[in-house]
Amino acid sequence: MSAQSATKGAAAQPPARGFTEPDQVKRYADAKASGNKRVLDIDSVYDPAWMKGARVLVTGANRGIGLSLAKEAARCGAVVVGACRKPSDELAAIENVEIVDGVEVTSSAACEALAESLAGKDPIDVLINNAGYFPDVSDDFTGGLNFEENLKQYDICAVGPLRVTAALVKKGCLRQPGGKVINITSQGGSALWRQVQNANKGGDYGHHMCKAAANMCGVLMAEELRPKGIAVANLHPGFNRTGMTKKYEHIWDIEGAVECEVGAKRVMHEIGRVGLLDSGAPFINCEDGLLIPY
For the segment 229-255, what is each residue's pLDDT rounded down to a tens digit?
999 999 999 999 998 888 889 999 999
CB atoms inside a 10 Å sphere around CB 193: 20
Q: At the top level of CATH, which class does the domain 3-12+19-291 belong to?
A: alpha beta
Q: Collect the ranges in the chain with pLDDT lower than 70.
A: 1-14, 279
Cα 285 versus chain centre, distance: 10
Would you state the pLDDT for residue 96? 87
| Sequence-separated (6 or more) residues with CB below 8 Å from residue 258 | 238, 239, 240, 241, 266
Alpha-carbon torsion 91, 94, 122, 235, what sign?
A: negative
* Mode of pairing for the β-strands spanning 283-285 and 290-291: antiparallel
Dist CA 211 CA 218 (whole Å): 11
Would you state the pLDDT for residue 13? 64
Q: Which helix (H) or strand (E) holds 180?
A: strand 180-184
Which of 285-289's residues contact partners 24+ apart within 8 Å by CB, and which partners?
285/20, 285/187, 285/236, 285/238, 286/235, 286/236, 286/237, 286/238, 287/20, 287/27, 287/39, 287/236, 287/238, 287/239, 287/256, 288/20, 288/27, 288/31, 288/36, 288/38, 288/39, 289/15, 289/17, 289/38
> Comparing C-alpha atoms, which of 13, 10, 6, 81 is closest to residue 50?
6
pLDDT per residue as tens digits for the range 106-134? 999 999 999 999 999 999 999 999 999 99
